[in-house]
Structure 1
Amino acid sequence: MDNESKIVWNPYTKGYFDNPYPHLKQCREENPVHKGVHNEFIFFKYEDVSKILRSNDFYVSELSSYLQTKEPYIFKNTNTCPYLSKGTQKWPMYLNGDEHKNLRAVMGKSFKEFELNQVIKESLTILNDRYKNSITIDLVDYCSYFIFLVTEKLFGIKDFESFENIKKYSNMLARSQDLFIPKQIYEEINSWFLWGKNIFHDSKYKENIRFFANKLNLEYTDEDIYSIMSISVMAAFETSKDNLTMALFEILRDQKLINYVLHNDTKELNLLIEELFRFSSPLQYTVRVNNEVIEYNNIVIPAKSKLYLCLASANRDPENFTAPDKVIPNRTPNEHLAFGGGNHFCLGAQISRQEMRYCLKPMVDFLKRFRIDDSVPTKWARQIFMRTTNSLSIKLK
């Protein structure tokens, strides 16, 4: 079968946003490395994705530079301040070399100053008190509100902005990374970037960023600091909310998993948590750029090409995971790629794991009296790089 007759990746395939995995499976099996319609090269197999992630021969695509080239078109004939490139200029997953290394060090040290366990305990008490008399719950709102409570404590936004505003702010910033964004959405994202400059009025985390940057002799401007704050909030809110929502969704639909969570302790729970990260893969894709010409499957890839690495497909590759479309709570080994790999391994991975370890059992204990409401369709966001649920209803048994 010649290359033209093989399947080509298309996230607008019917049903993709509800369930991308059948399409990804077909791509992985029939055309595991191929050129997309926008001259990008897409990789679907675990072996290929893992190799590129862990290699030093590739670098990350620079989002800020990309947005800077688009801004003259997006903001032509408007009076809106173009802030997309400024807002993303210090997002570590789009930086390379020493700039990336130094920023990771600053952010990592800043987060370590917090007692995350205590913050989570306090947030859980407030969360479950809010929903204690509910007959139906939107699981997305439940998880989002919990993450909001954690986020406002970490970043000093308590009593300043509403849950709905922070939720929208985070989601719009996340969308700045997605594919095929229309002009009007970019304009809306820009507005939220500008709005967010006012929310960090009393932030210990911001003070930590300045302190550790100074210790490393790094000169960060106010714009740099805000960019760091914006990615910190987005990463803490958006990915954690998606991780939790999809984890609880899988658990609540299976009584065996409910029992597993409630009747096991740290070691067994950690295995399940890693399996839920693998199975859900909220970050579905990441991007790398090749310095040199490379060849995969007899396909010559020119230097400086964008390589889309499908983490979601790699994490369901049967060559690496037995029964990949099932949640196996004690799966081991489990070298999933949900947090990427190599030098750009997700900076927030440890925080996501801590959140799940501290909150999963008390959340499941609270929600065990609920079940998935199959009469209300789950609403998935029309996003490509991050798989996000807009609404997921549960009701009392």
Structure 2
Amino acid sequence: MGGQSAVTWNPYTPGYFNDPYAHLRECRDTNPVQKGVHGSWTLFNHQDCFDLLRSPTARVSELSNYFREKEPAIFRNGGCPYLSRGTSKWAMYLNGNEHREVRKVMVKAFKQFDLPVILAEAVEAVNQLFSGENEFDLVDYCANFIYQVIRRLYSLPAHYSFEEIKEYSNMIARSQDLFVPRQVYQVINDWFLKGNELFRDLPVTSDPSGYKAQLSSLGHEIGVDYSEEDILSIMSVSVMAAFETSKDSLSMALLEILSDPSKIEEILGAGPTLISTCVEELFRYTAPLQYTIRVTAEPVLVGNSLIAENSKVFLCLASSNRDPLVFENPDELILSRNPNNHLAFGAGNHVCAGTYIARQEMRFCLQPIVDFLKGYVVADRSQVKYAKQIMMRTIESAWLKKRVYA
């Protein structure tokens, strides 16, 4: 460790939310397996995280059960608790057959759509919306693009406004973060209930090819009869994951590209094979999901540390994706990097169910989006604002201005 003192992970280290990677590098280099004061563990090395992600004996932390235990305290002054029921079918927090069934239905439903057509329409719509603007927020551009995609994917009526879907998605996504105040949980709960009203108005029979209808019919195919509440829970995680993760991934990728004219040229000049390589490097370098959690079903030896059965383990994907033992010059965005064994989508049985959609979005849309945005520059990189969140890294605003040509 080169004489360095062991660094203890602390997401409230000054500057962490703007750039977590310096602190994570110190943790990985000096103290890659850490036990916290509450008994949970955090792993920072790629190999350690990869092994636990693929371990058949590790299970995910079940968010719905967590809320079931916490709801009496959150709503001790009254209310209509729905956090546990709202997250009851979130695939990334389920284990065993229940996880396999929900995941199978979601993945198969996504693959029913003609994505190239949906994505082309979404790019055209968002570019028309921002055409002629002298300046705008890159995050708004990306969020509007994703809104156009999910409107088509989930058959959302036109009166389901952009602002409404954006706020809904952002609030229920916050249910996954650490150290959420009780009052914020109550607001999140209200948004779950509001979302139910929105999605309950999409009758399964109204569009037999729509996503909600597919969830029901595909469930029947595998012998699972999902209740209306089950379908609403799957709809909520589908909208949230498609909106928040895609918006965050795209906005951070575009921020890096637009900050370097050579990257713009590289993207626009890439053929189909190279663009896929570029996309994987962008996922590695800018992945929004910073951590994922596993619970050990039996004692696990990691390095020189024995992690006991039923321990909660935070796997730092952000650190893993910058591990110099796996990636040469890990803190550089190298669009031609190949191979690229990043963990942006996790690994193993719980690899992200939206991986297919995320990759298709970037492969089909990155070039036409960059071609439109090449006429703009980042107004001031030092003024880019990041959300104060731990599990997901999110840009709150990054202003672009019209490029001035000499």
TM-score band, normalised by shorter chain: over 0.9
Identity of counterpart residues, as a percentage?
A: 51
Preserved CA contact (<8 Å) 1:27 1:44 = yes
Shift in Å at residue 154 of structure 1?
Answer: 1.1
Q: 1:395 aligns with which of 353, 376, 401?
A: 401
Q: Which amino acid aligns with 1:42?
A: T
**1:53 corresponding residue in structure 2:** 53
Shift in Å at residue 375 of structure 1?
Answer: 6.9
Partner SS state of residue 77, structure 2: coil
Given the alignment of the two structures, is residue 274 of structure 1 paired with residue 273 of structure 2, yes or no?
A: no
Partner SS state of residue 309, structure 1: strand
Partners of 1:177 and 1:237 in 2: CA distance: 15
**2:43 corresponding residue in structure 1:** 43
Preserved CA contact (<8 Å) 1:43 1:308 = yes
**1:383 corresponding residue in structure 2:** 389
**2:134 corresponding residue in structure 1:** 135
Equivalences for residues 12-27 of structure 1 within 5 A: 12-27=12-27
Preserved CA contact (<8 Å) 1:160 1:199 = no
Given the alignment of the two structures, is residue 94 of structure 1 paired with residue 100 of structure 2, yes or no?
A: no
**1:361 corresponding residue in structure 2:** 367
Preserved CA contact (<8 Å) 1:140 1:241 = yes
Q: Which amino acid aligns with 1:237?
A: F
Partner SS state of residue 99, structure 1: helix
Shift in Å at residue 295 of structure 1?
Answer: 2.4
Partners of 2:157 and 2:21 in 1: CA distance: 39
Q: Which amino acid aligns with 2:9?
A: W
For structure 1, the 5+ residue unaligned runs are none
Partner SS state of residue 199, structure 1: helix
Partners of 1:158 and 1:334 in 2: CA distance: 39
Partners of 2:46 and 2:359 in 1: CA distance: 22
Partners of 1:329 and 1:337 in 2: CA distance: 17
Q: Which amino acid aligns with 2:294?
A: R
Q: Which runs of 4+ in 1 moved over 3 A?
A: none
**2:69 corresponding residue in structure 1:** 69
Shift in Å at residue 247 of structure 1?
Answer: 0.8
Partner SS state of residue 39, structure 1: coil
Preserved CA contact (<8 Å) 1:376 1:393 = no
Shift in Å at residue 158 of structure 1?
Answer: 2.6
Residues 123 and 39 (structure 1), Cα distance of their counterparts in 2 relative to 1, 3 Å cut:
same
Preserved CA contact (<8 Å) 1:292 1:302 = yes
Q: Which amino acid aligns with 1:249?
A: L
Aligned residue-pair number:
393
**1:224 corresponding residue in structure 2:** 230
Shift in Å at residue 6 of structure 1?
Answer: 2.6
Q: 1:297 aligns with which of 291, 303, 306?
A: 303
| TM-score relative to the length of structure 1 | 0.97
Instruction: Give a deviation string over 1:13-65, Cα, whole Å, max 9, x none.
Output: 11110110011001001100011233210000011011111111211110000
Q: Which amino acid aligns with 1:68?
A: R
**1:104 corresponding residue in structure 2:** 103
Instruction: Give a deviation string over 1:135-165, Cα, whole Å, max 9, x none.
Output: 1110000000000011111112231321111
**1:176 corresponding residue in structure 2:** 175
Structure 1 stretch 252-261 or stretch 5-14: which is displaced more? 5-14
| TM-score relative to the length of structure 2 | 0.95
Q: Which amino acid aligns with 2:26?
A: Q
**2:258 corresponding residue in structure 1:** 252
Partners of 2:355 and 2:9 in 1: CA distance: 28
